[in-house]
Amino acid sequence: MGRPEHAAVERPASDSASIAADAYATRHDPALAEALAEVAALGRLSDEDVRAMRAARRRHLATGATCALVLAIGLGAWQARILAPARAPTLHYQTQPGQQREVALADGSKLELNGATAVDVTLGGPERDIVLQRGEAYFDIAHDPKRPCVISAAGSQTRVLGTAFDINVARHEVKIQVYRGLVRFGGANGSVDVAAGWQSRFAGNTALAPTRFDPTQQDWRHKWLDTDGIRLEDLVDALNRSGGPIINSPPPKLAGLMLAGRFKLDNAPHLLRAIGPAYGFAAVEQGGKIVLKPGVM
C-alpha cells in the first residue's frame, strides 16, 4: 500500500495576518533584544525570563509617560498663573477720632475722611470700588463714563460716573447728601436718584425719597452739623469723631431722641449742656468722660 496522503489545511486570511503581526512584534520587541543579549552572555533564558523582561520594560514606559503628564500639567498651571492678569490692589485709609484726612486717588478722585472713619479703595477693575467701612467721608469722584464708581456702605450702594457727595454711616441708617451731579442710591429693595442739593437715607434695605438740604452751609469739614432730624446717639457719634472728651453712648431711654438744628461740633461739653435742658437730659463729667442722663440738673 502506498503512504496515505495528508490533505492540505487552509488557514483563514485573518489568522495569517495575526501570525505575521505577532512575528513582527516579537522580532522588534526590545525585550527580545535584551533576552538575546543575555543569552549570549549567560547561555540560555527561559520563556519566563523573557516575559519578565517584557513586563518590566512596559512598567518603565508607563512610569515615564505618567511623569511626563504630571510635568506637563504642572507647567501648564504655572504658566496660567504667570499669564493671568494681576488683581488690582485694595488700599486702606483710616482716621482716628479728632483727625481729618484728605486722600488723592490715582484716578483723580479725592476723598475727605472725617474722624474715626475707614475706607477701602480698589481702582483697577472695570468698576472703581470703594467700601466705607465706618464713619463719614466726602467724595469728589473724577468723571469716567467707562468706569463707574460704586461706593458700598452698610448694605447700601451709591453708583456714580463723576460727582461730589457726602456719605455718613450712622447706627441705624446710611445718609447721603449730594453737592454736585447725580447719584443712584439704594440697595436690595430698589434705589433712588439723588441730585445736587438733595439728600436721602437708607434704612431697612430701602432708600427713602430725597429731600432738600442747603449745600452752601458749612458741614463737618468746618466743624458744623446741620440737620433736620438726628438721633441723639448719632449726634454723640458725630461729636466723638470730632475729638475732645469721649462721650459715652446715651442710655436706651435717650438714644432715639430726635434733635434738629445747626450744631457746632468743636466743643462737645458746651453743646450738650446747652441743648440738654430743651430735650430733657443732662451732660455730666465722670472719670474724664461725658455721661448723658435723663432729666435736667
Give the percent of the chain with pLDDT over 90: 68
Distances (CA, A) of 166 to 17, 47, 112, 192, 240: 88, 90, 9, 16, 18
pLDDT tier, 8 (very low <50, low <70, confident <90, very high otherwise): very low
With a CB cutoff of 8 Å and minimum separation 6, the contacts of 52 are none
Q: How confident is the model at residue 296 (pLDDT cuts 50, 70, 90)?
A: confident
* Span 144-190, pLDDT tens digits: 999 999 999 999 999 999 999 999 999 999 999 999 999 999 998 99
DSSP 138-169: EEEPPP-TTS-EEEEETTEEEEESS-EEEEEE
| pLDDT average, residue stretch 207-236 | 96
Q: What pLDDT shows up at residue 4? A: 47
Given pLDDT bands bounded at 50, 70 and 90, which one contains residue 47?
low
CA 113 to chain centre: 21
pLDDT at 23: 56
Burial bucket for residue 126 (CB in 10 Å: 0-12, 13-18, 19+): exposed
Q: What is the pTM of this model?
A: 0.72
Rounded average pLDDT over 129-158: 97
Average pLDDT of the residues in 225-240: 95
Can you read off the three cell numbers belonging to residue 223? 466743624
Closest to 114 (Cα-Cα) out of 229, 219, 267: 219
Confidence bin at 232 (pLDDT 50/70/90): very high
Q: Which CATH class is domain 220-294?
A: alpha beta
User: pLDDT tier at 77 (50, 70, 90 boundaries)?
Assistant: low
The DSSP code sequence of 180-232 is ESEEEEEETTEEEEEETTEEEEEETTEEPPPEE--TTS--GGGTEEEEEEEEH
Q: What is the pLDDT of residue 37?
A: 60
- What's the pLDDT at 173? 97
Q: Which CATH number fits domain 90-212: 1.10.3720.10, 2.80.10.50, 3.90.1150.10, 2.60.120.1440?
A: 2.60.120.1440
Percentage, residues of the chain above pLDDT 70: 71
pLDDT value at position 88?
Answer: 82
